Structure 1
Amino acid sequence: MSKGISAWKLISGQAVLLAVLLIISEFIVQRGMVSNLYLAPPSQVIGEFNGLFQQNLIFTHLYVTLTEFAFGYAAATILAVGIGLFLVLTPYAESFFKPFLSALMAIPKVTIIPLMTLWLGIGMVNKMVVVFVFSFFPILFNTITGIKHTAENHIKVARVLGATQNQIIKKVILPSAMPTIFAGMRVAAGTGLVGALFGEMLASKEGLGNILVKATQLYNTAQVFAIIVIVTVVSVLIIAAIDFLEKKVFLKWKSL
């Protein structure tokens, strides 16, 4: 009971703080203390929300961004986990490839987006590859770390019981590494969505990043804030979906 009350108080406090910040923002802009060119009052942002949704403009662009993200992120997850398994379980593979992977990871991802545009054009494939590049390395290195932390005694017991290599991977190594892999997936979800937006902002005809650039060019600060709120909500929902996948799907698989 006390935990429920504490949670309720926490949520109430957060809501009050958010409301106070919004009221202050509205007040200082309406009073002319800050120009609405630099800070949009919440009332204008709400008006932009209504405009975006009534015109159905946001749904088309949101669909494009989420499609780019979904394909790029899924490909990054599958390949990163698979390559991570290969590098750790194959003798000397990690030692051989790690310098190259570390060098690739160190490259500022934003700087290669123009190259992606040159090679792949401004279509959706370009953005999918950008999302892949932004998402791949956090998942890969977390996969490697998670596999390395698998208890050696568990693997030895599985071998004594006659488990095959595939069974050891499925029943011992992956379940042990999954919490670390999911941690990497959460980080990659945020960076991957940012990658999609960057790609759309630099070269695209559709997507949330595209309308964000247009709003900025027109000095429509309220619409910029509205799009930022939408992107934030989408990012939170994606991470919540990953949490759900871990708790409801992974935990059941782990218990099999």
Structure 2
Amino acid sequence: MGNKTTTRFNWRMIAGQLALLLFILGAIEYIVSAEIVSSLYLSQPTLVMKEIIRLFWDGEIFHHLSVTLWEFLVGYVLSAVAGIGTGMFLVLIPRAETFFKPFLSALLAVPKVTIIPMLMLWLGIGLSNKIAIVFLFCFFTIAFNTITGIKQTAENHLKVARVFEATKLQTIMKVILPSAAPTIFVALRLSAATGLVGALFGEMMASKDGLGNLLVKATSLYDTTKAFAIITIVTVVSVLIIALIDLLEKKIVLKWKSS
């Protein structure tokens, strides 16, 4: 009975969300077509959808999408490995945390936008520049959340590991990481969205390819429909990436729990 009620509630929730989305899109369609808002500032959803179909049909979007995704993927994976590794290192070696944490906090406080011109000077405007930007947008969130997650490990669980004479590696893999996993995955989700924004921002600043470059060209030509089409594509890609991370979290956490 409870499962049926929950399922019914979920379907009602989804139906309500779709109704709200259709209402918003319908309202935008009306106010633009009725010229209440100029098409220079906003585009009709139907025209945006046609532009998205055209971009994929012509194949124009594939090269730019692959460039942006590759920049994001490399920078994101590097930041995840470095962030989780740094967080574990600082917590598991208390003196290292005391020594290095002020420096990390200071670097975190530096606005990333101010560093981007320097990265262009050091790395040029190619792939390495965008990877570095994505890394900077993601690393600190992952590192600090890893520190927080590990510190939340229950002392009783650590005592049980000691009683069973678990090695340092076994304690990390069987107790510390499973306990910190929810907090770490929160950081990975947040960083996925900000990392993709970082890649786009880098491309908008200086690039020959990528969705950011395509967006700059569209806005410079006052092609509002194409600009909104690109923004929609980026939004969908971001949602899919986060959904993939959610799926990964469920599989990893379930595996840890079963073991």
* Fold shared per TM-score above 0.5: yes
Gaps of 5+ in 1: none
2:130 corresponds in structure 1 to 127
Paired residue type of 1:9 = R
Matches within 5 A, 1:130-145: 130-145=133-148
Task: Output the CA distance in 2 between the equivalents of 1:143 and 1:119.
Answer: 30
Gaps of 5+ in 2: none
Q: CA deviation at 1:95?
A: 1.3
SS at match of 1:219: coil
CA contact (8 A) 1:110 1:198 kept: no
Task: Output the CA distance in 1 between the equivalents of 2:237 and 2:179.
Answer: 29
Structure 1 residues 22, 161: CA separation in 2 closer, same or farther (over 3 Å shift)? same
Paired residue type of 2:244 = A
Matches within 5 A, 1:220-231: 220-231=223-234
SS at match of 1:92: helix
Name which of 129, 137, 157 aligns with 1:154.
157
Q: CA deviation at 1:156?
A: 1.9
SS at match of 1:38: coil
2:102 corresponds in structure 1 to 99
SS at match of 2:79: helix
2:211 corresponds in structure 1 to 208
Name which of 244, 249, 253 aligns with 2:247.
244
RMSD in angstroms over aligned alpha carbons? 1.0
Task: Output the CA distance in 1 between the equivalents of 2:76 and 2:234.
Answer: 16
**Which digits, 9 at most, give the CA deviation of each residue in 1:125-166, with x for residues without a partner?**
110111000000111000000111111221122112111111
Task: Output the CA distance in 1 between the equivalents of 2:201 and 2:257.
Answer: 37
Does 2:82 correspond to 1:71?
A: no
1:27 corresponds in structure 2 to 30
Task: Output the CA distance in 2 between the equivalents of 1:143 and 1:225.
Answer: 36
Task: Output the CA distance in 1 between the equivalents of 2:104 and 2:174.
Answer: 28
Matches within 5 A, 1:102-121: 102-121=105-124
Name which of 6, 24, 44 aligns with 1:3.
6
Name which of 236, 251, 258 aligns with 1:233.
236
Name which of 170, 195, 198 aligns with 1:195.
198
Q: Percent identity?
A: 62
**Which digits, 9 at most, give the CA deviation of each residue in 1:152-201, with x for residues without a partner?**
22112211211111111111111111111001111111110110000000
Aligned residues between the structures? 256
Q: CA deviation at 1:14?
A: 1.2
Paired residue type of 2:212 = G
**Which digits, 9 at most, give the CA deviation of each residue in 1:77-111, with x for residues without a partner?**
01111111110111311111111101101111122
Task: Output the CA distance in 2 between the equivalents of 1:163 and 1:6.
Answer: 45
1:38 corresponds in structure 2 to 41
